[in-house]
Structure 1
């Protein structure tokens, strides 16, 4: 049984308080999930450093976790990201932590809608996923791929991931050369561009010379783009492109919340979009990174000429929609069948999973 289904069944008949551990965006999503499944929520709990006396969140009381654990038995549903196995074990060891549910809400709702891999999805795509697994270029890719699929199907919070490697610049997978030209799609506030420069500098210092000639930094959220201009003001290689990346140029509706999770939507503000092909022109693009909240396949279509012409290294997120894990590798290999594919996870939760094409 999926762990989400198991939790629903148990909590519907639970006699004591049901507490969400975490009072933020993730905690709100957990409460919405519980209410959608006819499960009451009796409050939120936070660590002592975040507790304020007589505070509330979404109309419910907020408790100090330590005080609540000392007073009465409760069921706790984890409502934050960044839980460690050690912290999980410490909570479960408390006598009054009657039940603890650490489930992968982040991976189930990566772009705000339910995106878990259902039984029907697996029946339809199981053979294609098995084929992709066999095409992965190293055993670590296969192990992390297996862990991701298992997590998506059963809902476990923890999975195997590349804990000590930087996302998009994993030295076990990718290296860089002279005159790199990067297309940073979903550039947020410039953090990935800065990390790219730092990675290239570190590689050069380690005796493998590399350099960066240009970074096209695409960001559709205007507030994020303003932050990026400030953060990259001293980076001469940076070309700020305050547009979304898609398969055509024009205008789309966009959900913008000034966070890393801004995405194409049916409603929202109107924003301009462009294609990589149109923006980079004849530039010899050597590296494309994409984390654009479910629009990766569309953006790859808009980069088709560039990929065919330049065969750049690719680092593309595949966790926003279940079908991305099938359609994105298929499309990449249709352009260059000789690409070597690698798969890596960069969080224990079901987010930040990347397909590399080298």
Structure 2
């Protein structure tokens, strides 16, 4: 196996991300070159694959870095003769006819659908492909300067993880966010069954708090592992349309279920919320005034044994609002750690500060880019 690079004292990583424990600090700056620097120096045509919010963000970063795109293409079924940012949207075959195959393809959208991932992997096998990482919510881009600012925190978080798989996910997350290379996501991904069956191990009598319950999808996910059994469910969802679907689903559950149309926050307050459904729904400067709740206030001392958070970048505030519950009940934690560039290392540090007894795990489930990277925490 070809050796890739030394990571820190006593460690070498290969292309599969395997490594052994070393003795001293990691050199995060040595892991990869920033994709933004590489693209800025690129002489070949740079072609975006995809349109929409992700492509908007990538093109904005191109402008900031002085990177020039040469075209845009979409899957054949989405090509209808329209334009995007001044480019005529083409089919891949048209791009190849115009530029040849010696091009750089920039994946500019996100997906977890197996058939879409297979298309991305097939492109990666044929062309030079990158999927630059831009944060889901507005914030700092992960580049060399970002690492210089946060290297100490990254080392501290790395040292906290409880198993080798978590450390591999951490390193491959850094590599991917720097390079945009799909091989790093694929090297360390695992499916949800591994996390639920070996880390979380949900029981039949869970008191489940679901923050960012969406339409009930993660309630369904949990109940699949408990044969439909639970002690109680408390679900918060701020988006109006998603909340209607959530309550419709909850009406079919028998037992102690409470749904509240509210966002998870550090305190009970009212904030502007974009209210656009899905990943576009989040606390914003403009939007619909929406009730926000601290979980500690919602539960008012009631037990919680399993807590899930996927609140579109408000995870820090949600953790602060659940701090009493976390300290008192030590619930199993399932927290999205990918909305902001710093989430995958700052959220573990925050949880550790609240409860040093937690064993911390990091997992990446199949997704391009590094979405569905989750922090799992359990007490012995």
TM value normalised by structure 2: 0.79
Determine the structure 1 residue equivalent to 2:50: 22
Determine the structure 2 residue equivalent to 1:10: 42
The 3-state SS of whatever aligns with 1:170 is helix
Contact map agreement 2:135 2:341 (CA 8 A) in 1: no
Contact map agreement 2:157 2:346 (CA 8 A) in 1: no
Task: Output the aligned Cα RMSD.
Answer: 2.5
The 3-state SS of whatever aligns with 1:115 is coil
Contact map agreement 1:181 1:284 (CA 8 A) in 2: yes
Determine the structure 2 residue equivalent to 1:97: none
Q: Is 1:87–2:122 an aligned residue pair?
A: yes
Determine the structure 2 residue equivalent to 1:164: 191
Q: CA deviation at 1:258?
A: 1.3
Quick one: structure 1 residues 327 and 33, their matched pair in 2 at CA, closer, same or farther if it must change by over 3 Å? closer
Deviations along 1:159-211, whole A, 9 cap, x unmatched? 234333259x5322110223211111111111111111112118xxxxxxxx3
Distance 2:321 2:99 in 1: 57
Which stretch shifts more, 324-333 or 262-271?
324-333
Distance 1:30 1:129 in 2: 25
Quick one: structure 1 residues 46 and 331, their matched pair in 2 at CA, closer, same or farther if it must change by over 3 Å? closer
Quick one: structure 1 residues 296 and 64, their matched pair in 2 at CA, closer, same or farther if it must change by over 3 Å? same
The 3-state SS of whatever aligns with 1:109 is coil
Trace 1:121-132 onto structure 2 (pairs within 5 A): 121-132=146-157
Determine the structure 1 residue equivalent to 2:158: 133
The 3-state SS of whatever aligns with 1:171 is helix
Q: CA deviation at 1:314?
A: 0.7
Q: CA deviation at 1:43?
A: 3.9
Q: Is 1:251–2:270 an aligned residue pair?
A: yes
Contact map agreement 1:116 1:152 (CA 8 A) in 2: no
Q: CA deviation at 1:341?
A: 0.8
**Among residues 205, 219, 228, which one is paired with 2:237 in the alignment?**
219
Q: Is 1:260–2:279 an aligned residue pair?
A: yes
Determine the structure 2 residue equivalent to 1:50: 78
Quick one: structure 1 residues 301 and 344, their matched pair in 2 at CA, closer, same or farther if it must change by over 3 Å? same
Quick one: structure 1 residues 66 and 123, their matched pair in 2 at CA, closer, same or farther if it must change by over 3 Å? closer
Determine the structure 1 residue equivalent to 2:107: 78
**Among residues 217, 226, 233, which one is paired with 1:200 in the alignment?**
226
Contact map agreement 2:209 2:306 (CA 8 A) in 1: yes
Q: Is 1:104–2:96 an aligned residue pair?
A: no
Determine the structure 2 residue equivalent to 1:329: 348
Q: Is 1:295–2:318 an aligned residue pair?
A: no
Q: Is 1:152–2:177 an aligned residue pair?
A: yes
**Among residues 213, 226, 239, which one is paired with 1:187 in the alignment?**
213
Contact map agreement 1:255 1:269 (CA 8 A) in 2: yes
The 3-state SS of whatever aligns with 2:42 is helix
Q: Is 1:242–2:265 an aligned residue pair?
A: no
Q: May I ask how many residue pairs the two structures share in their alignment?
A: 334
Distance 1:87 1:57 in 2: 24
Determine the structure 1 residue equivalent to 2:199: 173
Quick one: structure 1 residues 321 and 177, their matched pair in 2 at CA, closer, same or farther if it must change by over 3 Å? same
Note the residue ranges of structure 1 that are not aligned, 5 or more in a row: 93-99, 203-210
The 3-state SS of whatever aligns with 2:279 is coil
Distance 2:250 2:86 in 1: 41
Distance 2:40 2:241 in 1: 39
Q: CA deviation at 1:299?
A: 1.1
Q: CA deviation at 1:102?
A: 1.3
The 3-state SS of whatever aligns with 1:61 is strand
Distance 1:155 1:47 in 2: 21
